[in-house]
Amino acid sequence: MVTLYEVSKVALELAALVVTILALMVSYAGYSKTKKSVFARLSLAFTGLSVNFFLNLFADSLLIFDVVEDTYYIRLTASFFEMVGFFFLAFSHMVKVYQERKLAATPLIVFNPNAAFKTLSIYFIFYATLETMIAYGRSRSKILLLTAVGLLSFAAQSILSWLAEFVVDPTIYQIFSLIFQIFGVLAFFVPIWIYYRGVKR
């Protein structure tokens, strides 16, 4: 019997997939028109996140309809694409941090491959969030503030998703993780759209 949790999770994953694909379409349209590298990176980022949502949605659908009993490798692949998406979101910030020699060597404790991918996602997002907050402190730009809010939402999502790997019942972690990720994509979508409209003119 399908539970309310399973239905809620699939609904949130579907909503996240739709919003992420919309962000991908706007980013790709911006790159097609302007050939700016920022739109190329955003297109790659939202491609990775879209594949992540699709694979998780696919895995949950298989479980709901009792097609398979184990979706570990599907979710592992989804975590990899999530990491790739977050890497490209944070790419420009990571380069800047590295050039300024602020990148500290932090030990990576690997319990399983899935947790490793999620740990890397957390690293990428936190570095990007830090740089964005510093930039906002200097310029007080509303666009940077929205970007920072989106990155903070992604950071919260990444932490919850990572914690879910180490608890017996990850239900509450997974639900709030999806909510934060949807909010993050929405917060990121607004600056992308504003920037796209600006360069389009």
Residue 81 buriedness (CB in 10 A; 0-12 / 13-18 / 19+): buried
Bigger pLDDT: 13 vs 116: 13
The pLDDT of residue 112: 58
Three-state secondary structure string covering 4-24: HHHHHHHHHHHHHHHHHHHHH
Classify 110 as helix, strand or coil: coil
- How many other CB atoms are found less than 10 A from the CB of residue 57? 19
The pLDDT of residue 8: 83
Distance CA(34)–CA(137), nearest Å, equals 29
pLDDT over 50 at 104, yes or no: no
Locate 118 and state its tokens: 């999620």
Mean pLDDT comparison of 58-62, 65-69, 171-175, highest-scoring range: 58-62
- Burial profile 102-133: b = 16 or more Cβ within 10 angstroms, e = fewer: eeeeeeeeeeeebbbbbbbbbbbbbbbbbbbe
How many structural domains comprise the chain?
Answer: 1
Locate 6 and state its tokens: 């399973």
Average pLDDT over residues 91-100: 50
pLDDT category of residue 126 using cuts at 50, 70 and 90:
confident
Distance CA(188)–CA(198), nearest Å, equals 16
The pLDDT of residue 155: 84
The pLDDT of residue 22: 87
- How many other CB atoms are found less than 10 A from the CB of residue 92? 14
pLDDT over 50 at 103, yes or no: no
Bigger pLDDT: 96 vs 158: 158
Residue appearing with tokens 């919260």: 156
The pLDDT of residue 199: 63
Q: Which of 62-66, 75-79, 132-136, 172-176 has the lowest mean pLDDT?
A: 132-136
The pLDDT of residue 74: 94
Q: Domain containing 110: what range?
A: 4-200
Residues 6+ positions from 193 with CB-CB distance below 8 Å: 26
pLDDT category of residue 97 using cuts at 50, 70 and 90:
very low
Q: Are 8 and 175 in contact (CB under 8 A)?
A: yes
Distance CA(72)–CA(8), nearest Å, equals 20
